[in-house]
Structure 1
Amino acid sequence: MPRADIWAAIHRERAALADELAELTPDQWATRSLCGQWTVEEVVAHLTAAASTGRWRWIRSMAGARFDADLHNQRRMLEYRGAGPDETLARFRAVVTNTTAPSGHTPAWLGEVVVHGQDIRRPLGLFATPELTAVTEVARFFAERDFTVAGRTVRAGFHLVATDGPFDIGTGPEVRGSTLALVMTMAGRTDYCDDLTGPGVPALRSRSAG
């Protein structure tokens, strides 16, 4: 996908997620997401931080955290979290069309909203899914490198086959499933292994959890 199309997809996915978030109850905002210990509200604040942090600010923040990515992310999440869900959502809506990012790896920032969107939706039982073209772009990016997630390491030695699109990569024990389930598994979300089939699933689950 051309960079302009990727940014357009990022903006659509952010806007769609923001509309879903507007319907959440206070208890849902406090639900634990699939992203570590973070709640839904904390993941949304993290997405706002990611859409607000350019290269030099990211470098300064990482240096201040002694290049501890978890500490950097926690500090920036707290910076962009509001006094409550309404303010947190308003801050997220304000960056929906931003094109700010720590690097020029645009598919990674599409992956940011695709993965974290599902981190929120899955625990809440929400069934909206990102556009297949967007998810396929993320799948290809994750499979080829270890950048924001260890996608290349996770999928090495497996044949991943999307059942709903063109994504097909690797050799080894086969794993089949939706492009989204494969993306989420490469991103370390083992819950999505339940959506996969094939002889490679048990080993891939172990690798993803590792």
Structure 2
Amino acid sequence: MKTSSRLSRADVWTVIRTDRLTLAADLDGLTDDDWSTPSLCPGWTVHDVLAHIVDTARTGRLSFARDMVIARFDFDRANESGVRRRLRDRPADTVADLRAAADLTRTPPAPIATRLVEAIVHGEDIRRPLGITGSYPTPAVLDALDYQLRTAVSWGGGAERAEGLRLVATDCDYTAGDGETVEGTAVDLLLRFSGRDVG
């Protein structure tokens, strides 16, 4: 498995900015029913996931540490607090908040690849239930997938899920691991080993 990054740090932030603006455009004009659609992220609606994306875009190292202390170091509780903080009464305002955050390059104390995981996985959490097709640069998807495959589930990754499996991307030149073969597009593999049910 390739472990060196395909994208530079500057490239990552370019991908993130583009995806934030693309996602905002994808969500313009949704109905109230659309916004309450369950996302692929268990327990969260499409609007909840969007609020989470806005919150993580605005979270830096110090604010992350503060939020974790307030949440008594419960990562899920901290995420729920972030959703409540950024969830606007009018979903269109949450979309506007995403556009306003497009150029931000803040990040919690984590590898830069986590920003790609956040953008692509949560983007698909929203897009797929709404029937919207996402498009992501292949190097970004593969850097995110590599990160997930070497990171424990307890840290938000999927290393244990991939044990004993050989992953083969059907839409690009990518293989990882040894064992029973699992095939899918690079994005599907990323979602599957990020804990999403994509078949």
Q: Same fold (TM over 0.5)?
A: yes
Q: CA deviation at 1:23?
A: 2.9
Matches within 5 A, 1:12-31: 12-31=18-37
Q: Which residue of 1 aligns with 2:4?
A: none
Do the aligned partners of 1:136 and 1:165 also contact (CA within 8 Å) in 2?
Answer: no
Gaps of 5+ in 2: 1-6
Q: Is 2:16 aligned against 1:33?
A: no
Q: Is 2:62 aligned against 1:56?
A: yes
Show CA shifts across 1:6-45 (max 9, x none).
1111111111111101131121111110111111111000
Gaps of 5+ in 1: 195-210
In structure 2, how many angstroms separate the alpha carbons of the residues matched to 1:35 and 1:150?
14
For 1:28, the aligned partner's letter is D
Task: Give runs of ≥4 in structure 1 deviating > 3 Å.
Answer: none
Q: CA deviation at 1:150?
A: 2.6
Q: CA deviation at 1:104?
A: 4.5
From 66, 82, 96, the counterpart of 2:72:
66
TM-score normalised according to structure 2 size: 0.92
Higher helix share: 1
Between 1 and 2, higher relative CO (CA 8 Å, sep ≥ 6) is seen in: 2
From 158, 171, 177, the counterpart of 1:164:
171
Q: Is 2:102 aligned against 1:80?
A: no
- Across the two proteins, how many residue pairs are aligned to each other? 192
Do the aligned partners of 1:149 and 1:186 also contact (CA within 8 Å) in 2?
Answer: no
Show CA shifts across 1:165-186 (max 9, x none).
1321100101011000000001
Q: Which residue of 2 aligns with 1:146?
A: 152
Of the structure 1 ranges 39-48 and 146-155, higher mean CA displacement relative to structure 2 is found in: 146-155
Structural RMSD (CA): 1.3
Q: Which residue of 2 aligns with 1:204?
A: none
From 188, 194, 197, the counterpart of 2:195:
188
Of the structure 1 ranges 109-118 and 99-108, higher mean CA displacement relative to structure 2 is found in: 99-108
In structure 2, how many angstroms separate the alpha carbons of the residues matched to 1:165 and 1:97?
29
For 1:109, the aligned partner's letter is R
- Report % sequence identity: 36
